[in-house]
Structure 1
Amino acid sequence: MRYFRHCIDGQSRDPASGRWLDVYDPANAQAYAKVAAGDAADVEAAIAAAGQAFPAWAGLPHSERARWLEKLADALEARLDAFAQAESEDAGKPIRLAREVEIPRAVANLRFFAHAATQFASESHHGQAGLNYTLRSPLGVVATISPWNLPLYLFTWKIAPALAAGNAVVAKPSEVTPATATMLGELAIEIGFPAGVLNIVHGLGPQVGEPLVNHDAVRAVSFTGSTGVGQRIAALAAPRLKKVSLELGGKNPTLVFADSDWRAQLDTLARSAFQNSGQICLCGSRLLVERSIYAEVREAMVERAQALHAGAPADEATTLGPLVSQAHYDKVLLALARAREEGGQVLCGGHALERAGWYVAPTVIEGLGPDSVSNREEIFGPVVTLQPFDDDSHALALANAGDYGLSASIWTRDLNRAHRLAAQLRVGMVWINTWLQRDLRTPFGGVGASGLGREGGAEAMRFFTDAKNVGLHLG
């Protein structure tokens, strides 16, 4: 039995309460580890350590902070296989996905923001009202709360810009998938990362997340997760006028036009629906297809879904792993039952797989309109719904139906149409003839129920700093 401890002030620590939570292997539904059940006492210790470490860390030259982030990236990259194996076991991910995509992206996050530390610059303005220049200073102690679906990928996406900007961090990873965040904390201790600059506190949201958000010493909160929890964080932070960045859910449309090269891109279309068993906020869970090619696309997607190989995450041939937890497994199965009640026709899948872990068959559903609950609420599983459209305006209306507005993809050879629709889609990000092709310099985030604020590149660095303008009269 492994034990995932807090990392506070440069040390691994047991929970102050002495309590632990079970951590489950999604592939067999058995507990394989324990994670610290943190509480307000652990949060207080971590915030105190961060507060003490902040002045020295903020006072370092930007290049020195960059070197520390590069050193952590080097150490992570050197142990990529161990981290990939841990991520695969902890989250039920196919080992190839963890090894080839997710852990390398965590390394890239650290390296990107190491570079950002030396390139991020303030503005100056001259000629209208004297000379003005803007200082951008780190906030102090900040909190990051990251989800279970991309455990190290999104953990580093938050801590890296916060550290690069000069803040001290108290990070709460998901208690469902705590392995790789803990390992990264231990790696930071091993390489001598300055004590107290990066602190990791495990535990449940009410016992750890809420005390973090409520603490007066925490100047900002960056959260990725469900819309409901994001709304709760916003409500707690509002009376304190605390900065929040909320990257929440998505119910993303994929618009496939008849003139697109969809047959050649079928692998990407299927991947956009089913990667990580659909447990990615950017997955294209609503496939909108021009009516003239609808039947062909429908049959092709069913064939691709049925060809996915559900198996042990450690098996190199596995392309579909289990869902992450019993609670999420139950939620997805309930959503499938609801889709049938609403009149949805299940073309393939729609059921649990007969094996030990939390496996759900890749599912394709048609016959549901834009107002159905199944097309409006996030399922976050290996489930895609199909809807035909007649023309550009119909496609746009279907795409913009609902409260979410995270991302969309448009598949067409007509670039005039693509740019016109991209401007009218009510989302934060649009891909044209591709999916999940990320430039880390670009803004990341959504509108409506998909969140508040933007992450990535200079947007993240601005979030984790305060702007102060200095005006000089030129007499």
Structure 2
Amino acid sequence: MSSPVRHYVGGEFDASGDPFPLVDPVHGRTVGQVPSAPAELVDRAVRAAREALRGPWGSWSPADRSRALHRIADGIERRFEEFVAAECADTGKPRELASTVDIPRAVANFRAYGDLLAARSEQAWHTETADGRGALNYTVRKPLGVVAVISPWNLPLLLLTWKVAPALAMGNTVVAKPSELTPATACLLAEVTAEAGLPAGVFNLVHGPGANAAGQWLTEHPGVDAIAFTGESGTGSTIMRAAAARLAPVSFELGGKNAGLVFADADLEQAVAGTVRSAFTHSGQVCLCTERLYVERSVFAEFAARLGDEARRLSGYGPMISAAHRDKVLGHLSKAAADGEVLAGGGAPRFGDDRDGGFWVEPTVLTGLAEDHPAVREEIFGPVVHLAPFDTEEEAIALANSGPYGLAATVWTGDVGRAHRVAPALDVGVAWVNTWNLRDLRTPFGGVKASGIGREGGDHSLDFFSEPMNVCVKL
């Protein structure tokens, strides 16, 4: 990123706080510094957001806010290449991925919620209210207030805007904290919100780690009315304890150990190609990626051979986000290699150039591990998928539903009846049939069990970021 990483509080940029290094994951080099927000700055950000609620922002109509969201979308589009470059620099992901998924989706998030808000406003004149007993009842939706938005490093702008857009749509103010590993596009977004004419304090941005730093101080702050978080399940538990002290509502999209089911009647070519996407997109660093794949025994050998071949041929993937994360993934692979079989990958690639200093892991296909093995039970969040056979539909469902997580699943079958039997039987928030990560932004998105609380998307997000209030008028 050409410009320095800064906080954005009350309409002003600020670089206060002790700096920590920003590392390029492709080459492993330090390329900049990120200021870690002191507690005083986090407090100032929350107070600025509170003041903005009482200021001009509170008088903006839904139509005004809808137009502002579209101006933000326009601003991201005008600076599209700058956003792509910043996202690639922070995450190491291929340009093709950032330019076709991350940045376009951020634009779509603001446009979608701008349109949904406008549609709601057009319908607001008609409400079924009379109760027939001498009173008129109607419902108004009011903003929650100051919302803390904490977003992860894997899809920095996409997941930040997925929460910021509906929060602003419903009239809230926001204090955002992106991952300390990927701060660049959040800084650009702060600039765009200012260009779009948002009043000072409506969108605020602080940087820093979580524990004993900006993340903890923000989630524990008594002036924060709600928390929206995407990240690791253990961190979600910590944030939930902080929110519980003041009964603040939370929306969590957490970890996953996602399963895929491949039945013998599936189009194997389609299933292999789909699994390459679902297992290895962004080097497996997507919460929706498939890490466990169960294949009907009669086609298991053929499917495993094909998937292994495709994994070995795969190129154009990116690195792990950090040295610590790479080492975690390689630790899982080392243990898995000792206890099972590696069909493809299994280590760190060597390029013979300066990328050898980066944080790379080969696309890896495993098999032969017990269901209670850590590589099968624990979220690895890398380019790793484990294959195991099954014999019956009932067994496949039971295997997919085992474990503490329940975010997403894939079902590959040529039998439409089976598709409609199996998909709803899976303990997940979203199940894809003969595809993966096909998203309609109006649909509910989230997980069950350790994979999350609540639903995002469409009206689900607008409802979370607002409070329904009943008004009763005696006739």
Q: What TM-score, normalized to structure 1?
A: 0.94
Matches within 5 A, 1:313-462: 318=316, 320-341=317-338, 343-354=339-350, 355-462=356-463
Contact 1:2-1:32 within 8 A present in 2 as well:
no
Q: What SS class does the counterpart of residue 147 from structure 2 fall into?
A: strand
Q: What SS class does the counterpart of residue 466 from structure 1 fall into?
A: strand
Q: What SS class does the counterpart of residue 141 from structure 2 fall into?
A: strand
Contact 1:406-1:447 within 8 A present in 2 as well:
yes
1:212 is matched with which residue: 205, 210, 218? 218
Structure 2 gap ranges (5+): 351-355
What is the rounded CA distance, in whole Å, between the counterparts of 2:336 and 2:38 in structure 1?
39
Question: 1:221, CA displacement in angstroms?
Answer: 0.2
Match of 2:185 in 1: 180
Matches within 5 A, 1:186-205: 186-205=191-210
What is the rounded CA distance, in whole Å, between the counterparts of 1:281 and 1:124 in structure 2?
40
Matches within 5 A, 1:25-424: 25-55=24-54, 56-120=56-120, 124=128, 126=130, 131-206=136-211, 207-309=213-315, 318=316, 320-341=317-338, 343-354=339-350, 355-424=356-425
**Letter of the 2:161 counterpart:** T
Match of 2:20 in 1: 21
What is the rounded CA distance, in whole Å, between the counterparts of 1:267 and 1:12 in structure 2?
45
What is the rounded CA distance, in whole Å, between the counterparts of 2:117 and 2:46 in structure 1?
23
Which 10-residue stretch deviates more, 355-364 or 2-11? 2-11
**Letter of the 1:152 counterpart:** L
Taking a change above 3 Å as real, the CA distance of residues 403 and 128 of structure 1, as seen in their structure-2 partners, is farther
Let me know the Cα RMSD of the aligned residues. Answer: 1.6
Taking a change above 3 Å as real, the CA distance of residues 38 and 263 of structure 1, as seen in their structure-2 partners, is same
Question: 1:133, CA displacement in angstroms?
Answer: 2.3
**Letter of the 2:171 counterpart:** G
What is the rounded CA distance, in whole Å, between the counterparts of 2:140 and 2:443 in structure 1?
22
**Letter of the 1:428 counterpart:** G
Q: What SS class does the counterpart of residue 157 from structure 1 fall into?
A: helix
What is the rounded CA distance, in whole Å, between the counterparts of 2:153 and 2:225 in structure 1?
24
Question: 1:189, CA displacement in angstroms?
Answer: 2.4
**Letter of the 1:62 counterpart:** P
Contact 1:120-1:461 within 8 A present in 2 as well:
no
What is the rounded CA distance, in whole Å, between the counterparts of 2:132 and 2:376 in structure 1?
51
Q: 1:81-106 deviations in whole A, cap 9, x for unaligned?
A: 22111111110100100011111001
Q: What SS class does the counterpart of residue 264 from structure 1 fall into?
A: helix
What is the rounded CA distance, in whole Å, between the counterparts of 2:363 and 2:286 in structure 1?
15
Question: 1:210, CA displacement in angstroms?
Answer: 1.3
Q: What SS class does the counterpart of residue 268 from structure 2 fall into?
A: coil
What is the rounded CA distance, in whole Å, between the counterparts of 2:271 and 2:105 in structure 1?
23
Question: 1:183, CA displacement in angstroms?
Answer: 1.2
Q: What SS class does the counterpart of residue 287 from structure 1 fall into?
A: strand
Q: 1:207-254 deviations in whole A, cap 9, x for unaligned?
A: 111111111111000000000100000111112111011110001111
What is the rounded CA distance, in whole Å, between the counterparts of 1:365 and 1:155 in structure 2?
33
Question: 1:455, CA displacement in angstroms?
Answer: 1.0
What is the rounded CA distance, in whole Å, between the counterparts of 1:110 and 1:429 in structure 2?
23
What is the rounded CA distance, in whole Å, between the counterparts of 1:265 and 1:286 in structure 2?
14
What is the rounded CA distance, in whole Å, between the counterparts of 1:67 and 1:438 in structure 2?
24
What is the rounded CA distance, in whole Å, between the counterparts of 1:272 and 1:115 in structure 2?
30
Q: What SS class does the counterpart of residue 245 from structure 2 fall into?
A: helix
What is the rounded CA distance, in whole Å, between the counterparts of 1:303 and 1:194 in structure 2?
54
Taking a change above 3 Å as real, the CA distance of residues 386 and 45 of structure 1, as seen in their structure-2 partners, is same
What is the rounded CA distance, in whole Å, between the counterparts of 2:400 and 2:154 in structure 1?
24
Question: 1:287, CA displacement in angstroms?
Answer: 1.1
What is the rounded CA distance, in whole Å, between the counterparts of 2:364 and 2:470 in structure 1?
54
Q: What SS class does the counterpart of residue 254 from structure 1 fall into?
A: strand
Residue correspondences, number: 462
**Letter of the 1:468 counterpart:** M
Contact 1:58-1:138 within 8 A present in 2 as well:
no
Structure 1 gap ranges (5+): 310-317
What is the rounded CA distance, in whole Å, between the counterparts of 2:129 and 2:404 in structure 1?
39
Question: 1:124, CA displacement in angstroms?
Answer: 4.0
What is the rounded CA distance, in whole Å, between the counterparts of 1:199 and 1:247 in structure 2?
22
Contact 1:11-1:189 within 8 A present in 2 as well:
no
Match of 2:353 in 1: none
Percentage identity across paired residues of the two chains: 49
Q: 1:232-289 deviations in whole A, cap 9, x for unaligned?
A: 0011111211101111000111111111113134322211000000000000111111
